[in-house]
């Protein structure tokens, strides 16, 4: 059993994920190796979660855009959970990974998990009465 930081999961609601993306993240969390590496094709993930390949692809894109899932090498069947969401074998490994990730985020070497940008608001002029 892996140890995970609860703070990232507590803030998950702020990332505005679809149900399909939540389900996919849950499957990735189950399949991960210590440190967050997941080796599975999108077809395998789709079958595990019960989604179509297209919906799985859309959900994965959402996770990637929000930096919850990373693909630094763009390798086939290889995904990495962001260190804030990954599981570790010991508390020491967890604490070290979180410290390293925070430092890498501050240095601009690792993206922080981020919510989607707000859609632009187009304000129209309101006619004045009188």
Q: Is residue 119 a part of any domain in this protein? A: no
Q: Is residue 128 a part of any domain in this protein? A: no
* CATH number, residue 75: 1.10.10.10
Residue corresponding to tokens 């995904």: 79
Q: Is residue 127 a part of any domain in this protein? A: no
Which has the closest alpha carbon to 5: 114, 98, 69? 98
Going 15 to 18 to 21 to 27, the CA torsion angle's sign is positive
Q: What is the value of pTM for the model shown?
A: 0.85
> Tens of pLDDT along 10-48?
888 889 999 999 999 999 999 999 999 999 999 999 999
Q: Is residue 26 a part of any domain in this protein? A: yes
Q: Provide the pLDDT for residue 115.
A: 87
Residue corresponding to tokens 């010991």: 90
Domain extent for 7:
3-106
Backbone angles phi, psi at 78, to 5 degrees: -125, 120
Q: Is residue 100 a part of any domain in this protein? A: yes
Which has the closest alpha carbon to 96: 38, 35, 7, 37? 35
Q: Is residue 115 a part of any domain in this protein? A: no
Domain count, the chain: 1
Q: Is residue 112 a part of any domain in this protein? A: no
Q: Is residue 49 a part of any domain in this protein? A: yes
Strand partners, 80: 37, 70
Biggest CA-to-CA distance, the chain = 71
Q: Residue 58: which pLDDT band, with cuts at 50, 70 and 90?
A: very high
C-alpha distance from residue 32 to each of 107, 108, 109, 112 (Å)? 26, 25, 22, 20
Q: Residue 72: which pLDDT band, with cuts at 50, 70 and 90?
A: confident
């Amino acid at each position: 059993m892996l140890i995970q930081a609860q703070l990232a999961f507590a803030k998950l609601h702020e990332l505005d994920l679809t149900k399909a993306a939540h389900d996919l993240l849950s499957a990735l969390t189950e399949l991960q190796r210590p440190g967050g590496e997941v080796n599975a094709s999108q077809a395998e993930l789709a079958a595990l979660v019960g989604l179509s390949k297209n919906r799985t692809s859309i959900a994965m894109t959402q996770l990637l855009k929000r930096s919850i899932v990373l693909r630094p090498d763009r390798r086939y069947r290889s995904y990495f959970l962001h260190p804030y969401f990954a599981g570790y074998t010991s508390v020491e490994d967890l604490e070290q990974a979180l410290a390293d990730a925070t430092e890498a985020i501050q240095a601009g070497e690792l993206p922080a998990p981020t919510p989607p940008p707000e859609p632009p608001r187009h304000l129209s002029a309101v006619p004045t009465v009188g």
